[in-house]
Homo-oligomer: A and B are copies of this chain.
Amino acid sequence: MNSEISLIIDIVVKDGLRDKQIEAFKELAPLVLKEEGCIQYELKEVQGDKNRFIILEKWASKEALLAHDKTAHMIEADSKSPIFREKTTVLKLFNI
Contact = CB atoms under 8 A, between A and B. Distances in A.
Q: Give the contact-size bracket for chain A.
A: 10 to 19
B47 A93 contact: yes
Nearest to A21: B96
Summarize A's interface: helix, strand, loop or mixed.
strand
A80 interface: no
B22 A54 contact: no
Contacts of A96: 22, 43-45
A56 B92 contact: no
Nearest to A47: B92
Contacts of A46: 91-93
B91 A47 contact: yes
A17 to B, nearest CB: 15
A85 to B, nearest CB: 16
Interface in A15-52: 22, 42-48
Interface of A: 6, 8, 22, 42-48, 54, 56, 91-96
